[in-house]
Structure 1
Amino acid sequence: MKKKLHNSLYLINYHCISCQTEYQNWSTSQKNKEIATCANCNPAYKGESLAKIRVGRAEKFHQRQQKAQEKAAAKAK
């Protein structure tokens, strides 16, 4: 077996800049890290923004369908 094959793991703190919370996790670096957004403050993890995007896309699709049907009806006349 080779000695020192695996990296050492250290328990470090991750500091979220947005909501000012700190998390502890394992890392190969010894320095504490700052992250921009965490799972608590990112709306994509909460599912808020994704639902709004999906609703907006569906509404846009229905609007395009209505316009296409109106153009087809106008051409038929």
Structure 2
Amino acid sequence: MYINIEQYKQARNTGAFESPSPPQQMERITLKMLTGQGRRELDVGYVVEIKLMGGCGRCMVTTAKLVAVKGIYV
């Protein structure tokens, strides 16, 4: 599953982030970000728990072993 910088910051602060679509259990989380040299993708952790939020199709994804990324401060 790919996440953006805002989702990454939310996960670093609270241990979870909102996602528009539910991922698979134990799926790898990859941070996709733009840099001056182009697009960069980093493996930052994996999915532990998925909670559906109401009837809107969104879900709260709990993460584990989220790696700190140099240059992104929370």
TM-score past 0.5 threshold = no
Tell me which protein shows more strand as a share of its residues: 2
* TM-score normalised per structure 2: 0.23
Tell me which protein shows more helix as a share of its residues: 1
Q: Specify which structure has the bigger relative contact order, considering alpha-carbon pairs within 8 angstroms and separated by 6 or more residues.
A: 2
Structure exhibiting the larger radius of gyration computed from Cα positions: 1
